[in-house]
Amino acid sequence: MSQVYSVAVVVGSLRKESFNRKVALALAELAPSSLKLNIVEIGDLALYNEDIDVDPPAAYKAFREQIRSSHAVLFVTPEYNRSVPGVLKNAIDVGSRPYGQSAWSGKPGAVISVSPGAVGGFGANHHLRQSLVFLDVPCMQQPEAYIGGAASLFDESGKLSEKTRPFLQTFIDKYAVWVERHQA
């Protein structure tokens, strides 16, 4: 039997009907059998504060362990003010601490940005990539994934549109190759 790689999926939106969460769930359905995608929740993480990290809250510990125990990480994010949402930046900070013990280090990653706007979250996508360089996350470069017009990605029942499916399939298939290539 071939190796199955666990992928921590970090969704940068907390909204219940988030387009980003819907895309993350669609990617999980489209993923080849070599990947098992699991959404890691970030909404309960207190704002990072080194003072409380002396005795880390349970949410910090659980989040770090979920990232650490995964083979890879996939970020699905909206764009807020040409950057990532604060909740996503906070999760990145929580996972990177304490200094020298980053849960992210060495995990093959990818970024997909989803936005109602025409630009598809380009700013957030590239801003997040800057952080991933410092965090030692080898980030898949191609295909780039900026998805605009998010309101048209799903029908009324929540089913992924047929025009979007081929792009997401290509993305997740290429990501599977990326993950396998970067395993020790």
Sign of CA dihedral 106, 107, 110, 116: negative
Spell out the long-range contacts of 168-171 with Cβ–Cβ below 8 A and sequence spacing 24 or more: 168/23, 168/26, 168/27, 168/30, 169/30, 170/143, 171/27, 171/110, 171/112, 171/143, 171/145
Residue with tokens 């362990």: 65
User: Which residues, in sequence order, are CB contacts of 174 under 8 Å at separation 6+?
Assistant: 140, 142, 143
Provide the CA 23 distance to its chain's centre, in angstroms: 11
- Encode the chain (184 residues) as per-residue pLDDT tens digits: 489 999 999 999 999 889 999 999 999 999 999 999 999 999 999 999 999 999 999 999 999 999 999 999 999 999 999 999 999 999 999 999 999 999 999 999 999 999 998 888 999 999 999 999 999 999 999 999 999 999 899 888 888 889 999 999 999 999 999 999 998 6
CATH match of 5-181 with 3.40.50.360: yes
Is 0.85 surpassed by the pTM of this model?
Answer: yes
